[in-house]
Structure 1
Amino acid sequence: MRLAVLYSGGKDSTLALIRALRYHNVVCLITILSENKFSYFFHTSNIELTKYQAEAIGIDIFNFYTSGEKDVEIKDLENAIKECKKEFGIEGIVSGVIRSKYQLSRIKEICRKLDLFCLTPLWLISSREEIEEIEKNKIEAIITQVSSYPMDEKYLGRKIDRNVFEELEKMKIDFAGEGGEYETFVLDANIFKKRIEIVEFEKFFDEKENFGSFIIKKVKLIKK
């Protein structure tokens, strides 16, 4: 089946892509760039860098923009998928949604309208299974945003690994991070032909709001 993957650059959408590639022909990635950094629906941290991930993987990517207003952004997503269907003749959409019924229902509705299959290869995956899949597929992802106490500045830039997994469990923070607790950016994986190296970055952390970002300013691609 010819598919497009909704791609944010984080661990979940990367793992969904890997699972989809096992059985299907993934012809492109779709990234939505939101002007609203606090978008309810879309991942926004370092989202403009997904073009480097697509290049590292060796796959086409379509970037679409949205104002990020709650109702408008869903329509913008629908238009993006519609355009991708016309351009690539896709038969279905892949999403990395894990437990968010809000996201799932809206993606399913868009697919219904556009007569597309909706594939959610990570739906209801356990946190333990996800970390095992991350390790198995050599996904190197770093934390690029935190907004859930007691996660703090020291987590910014940290690699997602078994230690982080166990720490989040102790803090009772969902490893999926779908509620905006934290966000990630993937630098490498077994499907990457090149790895991404961070050349320049800056950190920001607001103690009052318990909100921080790891802003990637410059990267380069390294052949593996």
Structure 2
Amino acid sequence: MRTGLSFSGGKDSTFALYRLKEQGISAVCLITTIWKENGETVAHGEKLERLKQQANQLGIPLELVVTDFESYTTDYKQKLMELKHIYKLEAIAYGDIYLEGHRKWGEELAKSVDLKSLYPLWTDQDKAIQLLYDFVASGFKSRVIKVDEEKLPKEWVGREVDMNFIRDIQTYDVCPLGESGEYHTHVYDGPIFYSKSHRSEG
């Protein structure tokens, strides 16, 4: 099934790509939303260059939805219609985990352009911690690039997401996966990154 993946460069969308590959589903493009105003990613406020490096390391084309707050859904739908034609898409996949509102939006968007919607990470909220264990155990390397300082220490920015991280985050009253925006990550290595000599860690 030829699939586009909604991609932020963080652990959830990267792990979703990994799970798609495990299921034999071909992600033929990565779809990233960026703000018209400053060119940074909508999801994490990342510089676009780092996302381009990731896409190169993953060997998958990066496609951009240039948008603003008011026209977000309209712009995404228009771009998805274009990408459906260019890549012969049959589906779009998302890295959402258990928030029903996020899933409803994604399903409605996919339906509006006659695509299937895939959620390879979808699970019950109480199983989120296991998903984080699976991400780390699979060999992915990522760092925290942003935190909600009302929920987690600002000193966690730059921290590796590893077994120590998993231990420590369980002492806070937050989703261990940061599903509600408690923290965001950048993935710089892992089993689906093939350009080993040019990986971006910075």
TM > 0.5: yes
Write the deviation string for residues 174-199 of structure 1: whole angstroms up to 9, x where unpaired. Answer: 12212111111110110001252345
For structure 2, list consecutive stretches of 5 or more residues without a partner in the other structure: none
Which consecutive aligned stretches of 4+ in structure 1 deviate over 6 angstroms post-superposition? none
Q: TM-score, normalised by structure 1?
A: 0.80
Counterpart for residue 89 of structure 2? 90
- Give the superposition deviation at 1:10: 0.2
Counterpart for residue 197 of structure 1? 200
Separation in 1 of the partners of 2:139 and 2:166? 15
* Pairing 1:4–2:4 present: yes
Letter of the aligned partner of 2:32 in structure 1?
A: T
For structure 1, list consecutive stretches of 5 or more residues without a partner in the other structure: 200-224
Letter of the aligned partner of 1:4 in structure 2?
A: G
Separation in 2 of the partners of 1:128 and 1:182? 14
Counterpart for residue 119 of structure 1? 118
Q: 1:44 to 1:128 in 2, by over 3 A?
A: closer
Counterpart for residue 16 of structure 1? 16
Q: Secondary structure at the match of 1:128?
A: helix
* Pairing 1:78–2:77 present: yes
Q: 1:124 to 1:154 in 2, by over 3 A?
A: same
Q: CA RMSD in A?
A: 2.1
Letter of the aligned partner of 1:21 in structure 2?
A: K
Counterpart for residue 209 of structure 1? none
Q: Is the 8 A contact 2:151 2:182 kept in 1?
A: no
Q: Is the 8 A contact 1:57 1:192 kept in 2?
A: yes
Letter of the aligned partner of 2:10 in structure 1?
A: G
Q: Is the 8 A contact 2:151 2:174 kept in 1?
A: no
Q: TM-score, normalised by structure 2?
A: 0.88
Separation in 2 of the partners of 1:197 and 1:66? 26
Percent identical among aligned pairs is: 27
Compare the two structures and name the one with the higher strand fraction: 1
Letter of the aligned partner of 2:189 in structure 1?
A: D
Separation in 2 of the partners of 1:165 and 1:77? 34
